[in-house]
Structure 1
């Protein structure tokens, strides 16, 4: 008997593209699964659809969309044994990239069909699900500047362009207070704070620590406080290197720590981006939930 699977599908901007992608996914998955397809709308979120799938007894839940869709759908599956499949179709797809889930639709479906799972951590940020990271300050302002038209034209490169623009315009420093289960610190001239559950090397501002691991039960916190564009450029260079070699950044203006629970306040309040989407302003409270999401992954991630 086929297993019941719920596909939560975020439509593309072009109707023809949506129909073609959905046809390809169905062709791959329906021979194996009794597949129910539900599309998100402005009124019905991926999170609502995922909760509905769980209530209806889904044996597998699959999210086809970007990081925001994946994060929202994951909320309903936290601390369940239900396998969670990811078909990356968004602008950045950082969560899929981190877990080596391929961007090609058919290859991503093959990962789901293979059935290999891995337990990974998730987190809650002010009560909202987080599978990737929360960015405060520079990163949030970069996401604000990467408008929808630019993302449609340039994809993930739109964030790079917005980041360069933000960097050269300058970032106004802010004071931040960071409180964890073991320490409290105040930094007077912060420009960016990143709290990561998982992050590929391209999420540059997340990599102050010695590697970001999705199954260590901890959040990785990186705070940058450069006093000039030159210091900022040097910090970004070392953070990029750290993302690829898993070596902590040793600079006076890059602060890093690991914690299970963290509270962050800023003066003045700063915008917050959560898993690629803007979600209000500081303060934030984030808690890691260890080994709480059962993700379908490629063989090399088991």
Structure 2
């Protein structure tokens, strides 16, 4: 019996030509599985398309888009056994990179056909699905200064340039952070709560490694006292992301928790999986092993 897969396709994601990407996807899959294509558009959300595909009895959900597309689709997939194939075609693709999924369209599709299902964590942030991270302070400020037009033109470089500008301004705030184990009050420039994190998710990399299937959130608090320390600290965070060596600086704290609540004074901008959200406070709860993702078939595979 031939497998039926529903492709949730976001034509507006990333910098690639959507027509060319769709042709590539169809070339890989259509001789192997029954492929039903569901393009996202303004009239219906990605979550609604995914719910519809599940009701129609699809065997597999394929998601072609960026982190925002995958996060929206996850609303319908958290807690189910439906295999999920990720085809990265966004600007950042942090979720795919954190799971060692190729950002080459053809390679990602071929890996899905040969892949093995692996259960990874998801989370909710103020009741919304979260697959990558929530950022408070520096990250959403950086995203706010990277318009869709600039992201389309310059890709990841747009975030780098905006981030450098925001580091130079060094805006601090008071944060009250509550977990299942403790409550702390501190000053920060950025607070990042990560479920997963790509090497380029700079502000999430206080710890040596953000593990996608450990049932815990990784919290990194960045609190440089001046511009010089801000740039040195950012360098250490970036290095940690690529080397998996934990940072060792007094102005970078990190810990793990199942549940995290953050309140700030003054109110700060908040980003969720790369998109801005309105929030007076942030409450994040990890949902262990709740997404069934098809990952590259490697012997002795582990995230540790």
CA contact (8 A) 2:13 2:91 kept: no
1:176 maps to which residue?
Answer: 175
Q: Within 1, Cα distance between the matches of 2:100 and 2:258?
A: 25
1:285 maps to which residue?
Answer: 283
Secondary structure of the structure 2 residue equivalent to 1:278: strand
2:76 maps to which residue?
Answer: 76
1:8 maps to which residue?
Answer: 8
Secondary structure of the structure 1 residue equivalent to 2:153: helix
Q: Does 1:268 align with 2:266?
A: yes
What RMSD, in angstroms, separates the aligned Cα atoms of the two structures? 1.7
- The alpha-carbon deviation at position 103 of structure 1 amounts to 1.4
1:197 maps to which residue?
Answer: 195
- The alpha-carbon deviation at position 250 of structure 1 amounts to 2.4
Q: Within 2, Cα distance between the matches of 1:172 and 1:131?
A: 27
Deviations along 1:197-239, one digit per CA (max 9) or x if unpaired, are: 1101111110112311001100000011111101111211221
Residues 22-101 of structure 1: matches in 2 within 5 Å? 22-101=22-101
Secondary structure of the structure 2 residue equivalent to 1:210: coil
- The alpha-carbon deviation at position 13 of structure 1 amounts to 7.3
Q: Within 1, Cα distance between the matches of 2:155 and 2:103?
A: 13
CA contact (8 A) 1:264 1:282 kept: no
In the alignment, structure 1 segments of 5+ residues that lack a partner are none
- The alpha-carbon deviation at position 147 of structure 1 amounts to 0.7
1:110 maps to which residue?
Answer: 110
- The alpha-carbon deviation at position 174 of structure 1 amounts to 0.7
In the alignment, structure 2 segments of 5+ residues that lack a partner are none
Query: TM-score when scaled to structure 2?
Result: 0.94
Q: Within 1, Cα distance between the matches of 2:13 and 2:4?
A: 28
CA contact (8 A) 2:99 2:212 kept: no
